[in-house]
Amino acid sequence: MGANRLTRRRFLHQAAAGMAIPAIVTSKALGQGDVPPASDRVTLAWIGAGDRGGRQLLAWDFLPLPEVQVVAICDPFRSRREAWAANVDEHYGQRGCRAYRDFREMLEREDVDGAVIATHDGWHVPAALACVRAGVDVYVEKPLGVSVEQDLLLRDTARRYGAVFQYGTQQRSMSHCRHGCELVRNGRVGEITAIEVVAPEGGAGGSTEPVPVPDDLDYDLWLGPCPWSPYTADRCINRGSFWVYDNSIGFLGGWGAHPLDILDWALGDEHGIPVEYEGTGMIPIEGLYDTVATWEVHCRYADGLPLRFTSGGGDLTQFIGTEGWIGISRGGLTAEPASLLSSRVGPHEVRLAESAHHARNFVQAVRTRVPAVSGLESAVRSDLISLLSDIAIRTGSKVVWDPKGETIVGNEPARRMLSRTPRAPYRL
């Protein structure tokens, strides 16, 4: 590593060791005004600059943060990477953000602290693994992986390298979601007897007719570790990224990640994930889109607690107990009796990590080495629920999960679906 990266790493390690430092070391903290000089900012790179990665995460969430310096934009679409690199330079009023076709070339730099990964789902874990192994912290859009094997490998690798991880489940930075989870954690619904999780359904359609690849797209790189398939007009747009099984499991994971994350946050890590899965779903048989579009999966935790995971019109995580129920969604909280929502959480009760801004929380974690509000261990647990649900639907069989061995037992066809073989020359 170069001297600059070494200095940053030494600082971060000191922070992790418990030194008394501000959560964000800004120029203001040092008496130098409101905006830190470039040398004091957390340097970030973008891997994937489509609608979610560019317009939303970059332009809306990260670029306005004065403690951040965006130094690289990586995307297989030349038009995307060059346009966003130019926008970043315009924002800073100076040149310095470089456009990369391949993020692996970017990782040869020694001045990148963190990467925001907003590719199609099939690249999430492979890109995150490459970053972690290069000493780069990661913010990863949901869902996490396209196989159980991917999730477990990223978890174990991040543990080994001591990487900071933030999952793109922004509801953890919404105060009402935190409050609802705290109410559940502290027993306001009494003993939990059942849980209902609802996520938006997917869709069907999409052109299967091969057409020429756009001149500005490196299509082989876009596919990456996913199986090769002809380029079509709908493959690389949002729905094609979300609803093609080669590179995704659809909204079952892509949208299910949000209410399933709330489920995990409210229950706590000691509860683990369900150990049994049985379900049905509709998989389109015509058109390009072939992920599970609608579903109903019945799960059971080791202690017998039932979970029903279904598709519907919105997102909801509902905890039903002996004293009432609480529903948590992006739009707000509901409860019966309604008085449950006015309950205050006392200073000696369970309190969850607070974050008012998901992007800034990641930057703080990179600086301080204090875990981000939406960490990897929880991300793996919630993602496994969607992945195991998908396997149960596709095999039409009961899936039994062994939490100690972290594998499926007694069902060889289902067990074979725990991994996907990466396309050569890409590998995990």
Q: What is the pLDDT of residues 99-139, one digit of tens each?
A: 999 999 999 999 999 999 999 999 999 999 999 999 999 99
Among 66, 47, 63, 43, smallest CA distance to 113 is for 43
Which CATH entry fits the domain spanning 3-171: 3.40.50.1000, 1.10.1840.10, 3.40.50.720, 1.10.8.420? 3.40.50.720
Compute the distance between CA of residue 130 and CA of residue 219 in angstroms, rounded to an integer: 20
Is residue 332 within a helix (H) or strand (E), and if so which, with residue range? Answer: strand 332-336
Q: How far is CA 424 from the centre of its chain?
A: 25
Q: Kindly report the CA angle at 144 between 139 and 150, in degrees rounded to 5?
A: 115
Q: Which of 413, 378, 382 is nearest to 399 (CA)?
A: 413
**What confidence score (pLDDT) does residue 13 get?**
42
Q: For a pLDDT cut of 90, what percent of the chain falls above it?
A: 89
Across 246-259, average pLDDT: 97
Asked if residues 251 and 268 have their Cβ atoms less than 8 Å apart, the reply is no
Domain extents in the chain: 3-171, 175-341+376-418
- pLDDT for 3 beyond 50: no
- Strand ranges (DSSP E) for 211-287? 276-282
Q: Is the pLDDT of residue 228 over 50?
A: yes
Give pTM, 2 decimals: 0.92
Which CATH code for domain 175-341+376-418?
A: 3.30.360.10
Residue 262 host element (H or E): helix 257-267
pLDDT at 38: 63
The contacts of residue 312 (CB under 8 Å, 6+ apart) are 198, 199, 200, 201
